[in-house]
Chains A and B, each alone.
Chain A
C-alpha cells in the first residue's frame, strides 16, 4: 500500500542537518507498524514525509500505486486518504467539538451537513465522548482532546492512520484511554503507522516493529523478535534503557 524507496530528508538552508539517510519500507494494507527509537532518530520525520508534511529531499514514496513525491501529484487529495494524529492534538480551538469533526468532511468531501453530523456523532460514540459534542476544545482534558483528534481524522474515512507520538503529551493516567481507542481501531483492520514510546502498545498491537536510529531503520521484525530477541546492539541498548 505504501512503498518507500531510498528516502532522504535534510534540514537547514544548506541541507547540513541530515535526518533521514535512506529509508526503504513497504507497508501493506491492514498492517500495524510501530516505529520506536531514541529522540532525534528521524522517526517523526519519516512519518511526516509519508503525507508530505515534510517534503523529502530525495527518494520515492508510492501510495496505492501512485508516486506521491512527484510534483504532479495532488497532495491535498492524497492527504484526505491519510489521517494524522499529532502529539499536541491540534484541535481547532475556535470550533466546537462537533464542528472540529465535521469541518473537513463538509468542506472537502462536500458531505451534507446533517450527514456529516450523523457521522460525527457515530465517531464520538466510538471514542466515548458523545456528550462533548457541543463543548469547546479547551474544556477537555488532554486524553479527551486526543480522542477527539482521532475522531476528526477518522471522519475523512482515511485508508491509513499516522500517529505521531499520540500519548507523549498526556498525563500518565490519560494514556490508557487513548491507547484503548487505538487498539479498537487496530482491531477494526485500519492500516496504522504509529510512532510511540509505549512499548506495551507495540507488543500488543503491532504486526511489525521498526527500530530507527541515526536516520535509518536499524532493525525490524515482529514485536516478539524486537523486544525479546533484539539482534542489533543499538536496539539492545535502547530497549535496556526504556523497558
Chain B
C-alpha cells in the first residue's frame, strides 16, 4: 500500500515537471516565431537612435572623448531588418584619429606627466589623477586639433529591447571604429609600464595615478559592450534572476553575510540551549524537590517568579532590556547578551519540559532507589534524571529548533545573525526578494534538517527501549 502511494506520488510529480517544461517550450516557441520589430523604423529614426546613443558615451570628465565626439559624424545611409528583432544599419563615419595621435605622442604625455609628478613629489605636494588629467588634456587637445579625420563605412545594429524602445548595440569593435581608435588608445595607456626620463628607464607599473590621469582624458564612462537584451519574457525573468542572484550573493562575496550570519545564529542557539538546559535542570530539580519534600521553599518561589517573568513577557522585550538596560552599561558584547537572553528564556520552557520528564518517571523508581538507601537527591541524580533526560531529549531538540527561529530577533540589538545578514544585503542592493527569500530558505533548510535528526533520534531512543 505504502509503495503504491510512493509510486503514484512520483508519477504525479514527474507529470507536473513534464507539463511545466512543455509549457515553457510552447511559450518560448511562440515568442520566437513573433520575432520581428514591432514597428519598422525609418533611416531618420535610426539616425536619431545612433546619435543619442553615441552622445551618451563620454562623460563630463573625459575631455578627449568629448572632443572626438564633437568632431566625428556617423551617418546612416540605409537599413534593413534582421531576423532577431533588429535592424542593420549601413553607415559612413568620420572621426579624429585619436588612436593614432595617442600612439604617436604617448611617450611625451607620460614623460610630461611624470615630470610633473616628480617635481611635485620633491616639493612634497601630492599629485592626484585629476591634476595629471588637466595637464595632459591640454597637450592632447592640441595634438587632436592637428589630426585629420579617418573616414570609412561600417555596420551598426539597432535592437528593440521592449516594444517601441530601441537601443544601439555598440561592440568594442564598433566603438573603436566610429571613435577613431579610441579603445586602442585606452589599451595603449593601460599597457604602458616604462618610460624614458632623464636618460633613465623608469618603471611606472605601480604608478596608477599616472595612468589613470592620462586614461581619464579619453575614458568612455557609460560604455556597455553587452548586446541589448531582446530575449523573450521567460528568458528575461531568468536573466534578471541570474543578475539579481549575482548582485545579491556573488558580487563582493555578499553571500558571506548569509554564511557568517548562519554561523552566528547557530552559535547563539547552541550556547543558549546549553544555558537553557542547565537553568532548566536546576529549576526543574528545585521545583520537584520542593513539591516532594517541601524543602528549598525560597528557591522554589524564586523559580516561580523567574518562570512567570520569562513566560509572561515577549522575548524581544527581554532581549532589549537585557542588552540595553543590563549588559550594555557594563560593556558586555551583544553576542553574550543574546545568548544570555535566549538561554534564560529557553530555560523557563526547558524547565517545564524537564519537570514533565521527571514526573513521567515511575514513582516506583524513586521508591526502589530510596529503599536501597539513596537520599532523595542521590535518587534524583543516579536514577530519575538519567531516565527523564532520555525521555525529554527529543523535546529538547525541538526546543533547539524553536530557539533557532526565535533567535532571529537578535538582529534588533545588532547581532550579526542570519536575519541581519539578509537585512544588510537588502540595504546594499536595495532588493527585497533575493536576500529575504534566501534567509527564509536557509532557516527552512536548517530547521528541516534538524527536524529530520530529531526524528532519527526519537527512533533510536525508542529502539533502545526495546533492547
Contact B466 A138 (CB under 8 A): yes
> A94 contacts which chain B residues (CB < 8 A)?
386-387, 390
Quick check: B364 and A86 within 8 Å, CB to CB? yes
Please, which residue of chain B has its CB at the minimum distance from the CB of A152? B372
Contact B383 A92 (CB under 8 A): yes
B432 at the interface (CB under 8 A from A): no
Q: Are A76 and B364 in contact (CB under 8 A)?
A: no
With A86-B367, A90-B364 as contacts: A108 and B372 at CB distance below 8 Å: yes
A53 and B368 alpha carbons, distance in the complex (Å) = 10
A206 in the interface (beta carbon within 8 A): no
Quick check: is B251 within 8 A (CB to CB) of the other chain?
no
Q: Is the CB of A84 within 8 A of B378?
A: no
- Using Cβ atoms and an 8 Å threshold, which residues of chain B touch A110? none
- In this assembly, does B27 line the interface, its C-beta being within 8 Å of a C-beta of chain A? no
Q: Which residues of A contact B387 (CB under 8 A)?
A: 92-94
Q: Say whether A86 contacts B372, CB under 8 Å.
A: no
Which B residues are in CB contact (< 8 Å) with A153? Answer: 371-372
- Judge whether A107 and B382 touch: CB under 8 Å: yes
- A120 to B390 CA separation, bound complex (whole angstroms): 26
Q: Is A136 an interface residue when CB atoms closer than 8 A count as contact?
A: yes
Q: B465 at the A/B interface (Cβ < 8 Å)? A: yes
Taking the complex as formed, is B424 at the interface, i.e. its CB lies under 8 A from any CB of chain A? no
Do B368 and A107 have beta carbons less than 8 Å apart? no
User: Do the beta carbons of B467 and A79 come within 8 Å of each other?
Assistant: no
CB of A77 within 8 A of chain B? yes
Shortest C-beta distance, B294 to chain A (Å), equals 12
Q: Is B124 interfacial (CB-CB < 8 Å)?
A: no
Mask: chain A, 56-84; 1 = CB below 8 Å from B; 0 = not: 00000000000000000000111110111
Q: Is the CB of B375 within 8 A of A51?
A: no
Q: For the complex, is A151 an interface residue (Cβ under 8 Å from B)?
A: no
Q: Is A104 engaged at the interface, CB distance under 8 Å to the other chain? A: yes
Closest to B467 in A: A136
Are B362 and A138 interface neighbours, CB within 8 A? no
B370 contacts partner chain A, Cβ-Cβ < 8 Å: yes
Once bound together, how far apart are the Cα atoms of A239 and B390, in whole Å?
47
Is the CB of A5 closer than 8 A to any CB of chain B? no
Contact A79 B383 (CB under 8 A): no
Closest chain B residue, CB of each to CB of A82:
B371
Q: How far is the CA of A104 from the CA of B382 in the complex (A)?
A: 10
Q: Which residues of B contact A132 (CB under 8 A)?
A: none
CB atoms of A80 and B373 under 8 A apart: yes
Which residues from 331 to 387 on chain B have a C-beta closer than 8 Å to any C-beta of chain A?
Answer: 362, 364-365, 367-375, 378, 382-383, 386-387
- A156 at interface, CB cutoff 8 A: yes
Q: Is the CB of A84 within 8 A of B373?
A: no
Interface size class of A (residues with CB under 8 A): 20 to 34
| B residues near A88, Cβ cutoff 8 Å | 364
Determine if B374 and A107 form an interchain contact, defined as CB atoms under 8 angstroms apart. yes
Query: How far apart sit A78 and B390, CA to CA, in the bound complex (Å)?
Result: 31
Contacts of B378 in A (CB 8 A): 107-108
Chain B residue with minimal CB distance to A79? B373
Contact A156 B367 (CB under 8 A): no
* Residues of B close to A86: CB separation below 8 A: 364, 367-368, 371
For residue B383, which residues in chain A have a CB less than 8 angstroms away from its CB?
92, 103
Known interface pairs A94-B390, A138-B465, A138-B466; A108-B373 also in contact (CB < 8 Å): yes
A139 within 8 A of B: yes
Number of A-B contacts (CB under 8 A): 65
**A53-B367, A90-B368, A94-B390 known; A76 and B467 CB under 8 Å?**
no
Bound together, the chains give a CA A134 to CA B465 distance in angstroms of 15
Task: Report yes or no: B374 in contact with A76, Cβ–Cβ below 8 A.
Answer: yes
Selected contact of A104 from candidates B364, B374, B386, CB within 8 Å: B374
Query: Which residues of A sit under 8 angstroms from B465, Cβ to Cβ?
Result: 93, 138
Complex: A84 Cα to B390 Cα, angstroms:
27
Provide the bound-state CA to CA distance between A93 and B466, in Å.
10
- Check B467 against A139 for contact (C-beta < 8 Å): yes
What residues on A are CB-neighbors of B372 within 8 Å? 79-80, 103-104, 108, 152-153, 156
A138 touches B467 (CB 8 A): yes
Q: In the assembled complex, which residues on chain B have CB atoms less than 8 Å from the CB atom of A83?
A: 371
Provide the residues of chain B in CB contact with A136, threshold 8 Å: 467
Cα–Cα distance between A53 and B374 once the two chains are bound (Å): 12
CB of A124 to closest CB in B, whole Å: 17
List the B residue with the shortest CB-CB distance to A100: B368
Residues of B within 8 A of A80 (CB): 372-373
Q: Are B386 and A79 within 8 A (Cβ)?
A: no
Residues in B neighbouring A84, C-beta threshold 8 A: 368, 371
A76 B375 Cβ-Cβ under 8 A: yes
Complex-state Cα separation, A152 to B383, whole angstroms: 14
Binary B-proximity of A96-116 (CB < 8 A = 1, otherwise 0): 000000011001100000000
Taking CB as reference atom, which chain B residue is nearest A162? B371
Chain A residues with Cβ below 8 Å from B386 are 94
The distance from the CB of B281 to the nearest CB of chain A, in whole angstroms, is: 17
Tell me the smallest distance from the CB of A142 to a CB of chain B, in Å: 14
Nearest B residue to A81 by beta-carbon distance? B373
B368 to chain A: which residues have CB within 8 Å?
Answer: 84, 86, 90-92, 149
Q: Mark B263-288, 1 if CB is under 8 A from A, else 0.
A: 00000000000000000000000000
Chain B residues, CB < 8 A from A103: 372, 382-383
Q: A-facing mask of B436-467, CB < 8 A → 1, else 0?
A: 00000000000000000000000000000111
Please tell me if the beta carbons of A76 and B373 are within 8 angstroms of each other in the complex.
Answer: yes
Q: Which of B371, B378, B386, B390: most chain A Cβ within 10 A?
A: B371
**Pairwise interchain contact B371-A79, C-beta atoms closer than 8 A:** yes
Interface residues of A in 125-160 (CB under 8 A from B): 136, 138-139, 149, 152-153, 156
Give every chain A residue within 8 A of B390 (Cβ-Cβ): 94
How far apart are the CA atoms of A135 and B466 in the complex, in Å? 12
Closest A-chain residue to B386, C-beta based? A94
Would you mind naming 7 contact pairs between A and B with Cβ atoms under 8 Å apart? A84-B368, A86-B371, A90-B364, A92-B365, A108-B374, A136-B467, A138-B467
Q: Ordered nearest first, which 8 A-B pairs have the shortest CB separation?
A: A80-B373, A90-B368, A84-B371, A90-B364, A104-B372, A79-B373, A94-B386, A76-B373
With A153-B372, A156-B372 given, name 12 new contacts (CB 8 A): A76-B370, A79-B370, A79-B373, A84-B368, A86-B367, A88-B364, A90-B362, A103-B383, A108-B373, A108-B374, A139-B467, A156-B373
